[in-house]
Amino acid sequence: MESEMVKFKESAIAEIQDAKNPIELDGVRVKYLGRAGLISKLSESMRDVPKGERPRIGKLLNEVRLTLTSAFEDRAEAFAAQHDLAAIEDIDETLPSTPLRLGAIHPLTQLQDRAIQVFRRLGFALAAGPDIETEWNCFDALNTPPNHPARNETDTFYLPDGRLLRTHTSTVQIRTMLATPPPVRVIAPGAAYRRDEMDATHLSQFNQLEGLYIDKHVTISDLKGTLEYFVRELLGSQVETRMRPHFFPFTEPSLELDIRLPGVNSGRWMELLGCGIVDPTVLEKVNEGRGDQAYDPGKWTGYAFGMGLDRLAMALFGLPDIRLLIENDQRFLAQFV
């Protein structure tokens, strides 16, 4: 039996080497290692081996089994490697590769990130609110009377359930004050929606950056100082600013801040943001909403501002059409890497 096994091993190895393809190889594997294969048969004839010899012969048989198994595996691997090589044989590695297109940060996002950084240095925290809002958060709490034109169906997108797409990010002022007692110092970047006809300077969805600061003895000069610092940090020391009186239902007094920068907007003044001292009525509405007196207008004062980022991006990047910002045209975006 011993010599039989050695012969058997040799012929198996020879057949494995001679197999011309994986199918032939598998045939050889079944013949030797299969369930009804020759190794199994040899195992069965162990019965006829004298008892004393069994451990030695058994060990030998096992070695043959292992040797053959690994010989099969090696040969199968060799076939697989051959197959892989054949698959790439026709590839011409001297051809130029497809260029990898790197993405870039959208110009609006770049501008928004820079603006956020400046305010963060001043200690403002980030706040956020949903795009779908209640009328109360968007208008009532912000002291906007029911007959105000902004509340009109022709100006605002209403949902069938009476909610609306926020027309400004000032809703986050209200949400922040409802959620946290004063003092408050937050900025809130986000989308706002108005039913504007789309053209080169209008979109029905645009981007704002809101700010709210509530503390003791906050004055217009705090507002002015902060905004002037912000504008200089964002746009450089060449920028000029001016403030004009304005009206918003939720600030009193209300102002608009214009900026002028050489080479931008043909050197003309541009409106950057609306701002003002938070109207005490807003604080009272917030108290009503909270059910406490946390924002006692006798104790707390504050300022708020809201700026549009799209027009600013247009001016800074010299864009002739606001729609470039939403078309996601690769030829446009690739310029901002």
At CA 85, angle to CA 79 and CA 88, rounded to 5?
A: 145
Between 12 and 142, CB nearer to ligand PHE? 142
Among residues 182, 190, 276, 302, which is the contact residue for ligand PHE, using CB under 6 A? 276
Is position 275 an interface residue for ligand PHE (rule: CB under 6 A)?
yes
Q: Looking at residue 196, what DSSP letter applies? A: P
User: Interacting stretch for ligand PHE, rule CB under 6 A, among 60-68, 258-266, 272-280, 321-329?
Assistant: 272-280
Between 137 and 251, CB nearer to ligand PHE? 251
Is position 170 an interface residue for ligand PHE (rule: CB under 6 A)?
yes
Cα dihedral sign, 204-241-211-293: negative
Please say whether the beta carbons of 260 and 270 come within 8 A.
Answer: yes
User: Interacting stretch for ligand PHE, rule CB under 6 A, among 37-45, 53-61, 222-230, 299-307?
Assistant: 299-307
User: Interacting stretch for ligand PHE, rule CB under 6 A, among 22-30, 47-55, 258-266, 273-281?
Assistant: 273-281
Q: Give the Cα separation of 335 and 71 in Å (integer).
A: 59
Among residues 68, 251, 277, 301, which is the contact residue for ligand PHE, using CB under 6 A? 251
Is position 305 an interface residue for ligand PHE (rule: CB under 6 A)?
yes
Nearest alpha-carbon partner for 208 in 155, 262, 172, 154: 172
Q: Kindly state the smallest distance separating residue 304's Cβ from ligand PHE, in Å.
A: 4
Q: How far is CA 320 from CA 136, 196, 307, 315, in A?
A: 37, 18, 20, 9
Q: Kindly state the smallest distance separating residue 331's Cβ from ligand PHE, in Å.
A: 32
Between 79 and 157, CB nearer to ligand PHE? 157
At CA 257, angle to CA 252 and CA 261, rounded to 5?
A: 175
Please say whether the beta carbons of 157 and 165 come within 8 A.
Answer: yes
DSSP line for 230-279 = HHHHHH-TT-EEEEEEEEETTEEEEEEEEEE-TTSGGG--EEEEEEEEEP
Q: Kindly state the smallest distance separating residue 100's Cβ from ligand PHE, in Å.
A: 41
Is position 304 an interface residue for ligand PHE (rule: CB under 6 A)?
yes
Among residues 29, 151, 166, 168, which is the contact residue for ligand PHE, using CB under 6 A? 168
Among residues 139, 230, 248, 300, which is the contact residue for ligand PHE, using CB under 6 A? 248
Please say whether the beta carbons of 325 and 332 come within 8 A.
Answer: no
User: Interacting stretch for ligand PHE, rule CB under 6 A, among 74-82, 128-136, 260-268, 300-308?
Assistant: 300-308
178, amino acid identity: L
User: Interacting stretch for ligand PHE, rule CB under 6 A, among 51-59, 68-76, 95-103, 301-309?
Assistant: 301-309
**Residue 212, SS3?**
strand
Contact positions vs ligand PHE (CB under 6 A): 168, 170, 248, 251, 274-276, 304-306
